């Protein structure tokens, strides 16, 4: 009887999971990517990277060495206009500020309509620049 693969990392984005899968394959491991529902993805556990049980130890050692955020600038061409970028340094490593409790409440009460008109605060994870769109 074959043992089930072991989860070594969870992601919101399938892109990040596939990048990790590729890095583990380069190290000789046999990872797989498993997607769950979008609701689990929003909670941070929608895409899983798994390895066979006998490779778990090696995978965890490699992950400890790689445990820095993935630099998407390495994978996105400088002339690729399909990604939002930091207005200061041009990096694609940006993140929107999470909604506050009041903003979430307002979104629920308006059935999400208010989110169409809301301006978001952004932060560059490379240079630290903050701006509002």
Instruction: Note the pLDDT of residue 117.
Output: 77
Specify the residue for token string 């208010």: 114
- Give dist(CA 109, CA 89) in Å, integer: 37
Specify the residue for token string 């932060």: 123
Mean pLDDT of all residues in 103-124: 81
The 10s digit of each residue's pLDDT in 57-79 is 999 999 988 877 778 888 888 88
Sheet with 32-35, edge to edge strand ranges: 6-11, 47-51, 32-35
Q: Are residues 66 and 92 in the same domain?
A: no
Q: What's the CA angle centered on 29, arms 27 and 30, to 5 degrees?
A: 140
- What kind and span of H or E run contains 61? helix 56-66
How many Cα neighbours within 13 Å face the side chain of 80?
Answer: 13
131, 104, 112, 108: which is closest to 120 by C-alpha?
A: 131
Q: Are residues 13 and 59 in the same domain?
A: yes
Note whether 93 and 69 are within 8 A (CB): yes
The 10s digit of each residue's pLDDT in 31-52 is 999 987 666 555 656 789 999 9
User: How many structural domains comprise the chain?
Assistant: 2
Q: Are residues 40 and 93 in the same domain?
A: no
Whole-model pTM: value is: 0.48
91, 10, 56: which is closest to 20 by C-alpha?
A: 10
Instruction: Note the pLDDT of residue 38.
Output: 63
Report the chain's C-alpha Rg in angstroms.
Answer: 18
Residue 76 lies in a domain: no
Residue 48: which CATH number? Answer: 3.30.70
Domain housing 12: 6-70
Q: Are residues 41 and 66 in the same domain?
A: yes
The 10s digit of each residue's pLDDT in 76-94 is 888 888 888 999 999 999 9
Show which of 43, 70, 97 is a domain's final residue: 70
């Amino acid at each position: 009887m074959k043992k089930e693969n072991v989860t070594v990392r969870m992601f919101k984005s399938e892109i990040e999971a596939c990048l990790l899968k590729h890095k583990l394959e380069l190290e000789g491991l046999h990872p797989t990517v498993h997607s769950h529902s979008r609701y689990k993805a929003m909670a941070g556990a929608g895409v899983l990277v798994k390895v066979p049980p006998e490779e778990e130890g090696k995978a965890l050692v490699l992950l400890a060495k790689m445990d820095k955020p993935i630099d998407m600038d390495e994978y996105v061409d400088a002339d690729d206009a399909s990604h939002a970028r930091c207005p200061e340094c041009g990096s694609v490593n940006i993140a929107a500020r999470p909604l506050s409790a009041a903003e979430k409440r307002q979104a629920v009460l308006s059935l999400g309509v208010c989110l169409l008109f809301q301006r978001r605060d952004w932060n560059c994870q490379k240079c630290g620049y903050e701006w509002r769109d």
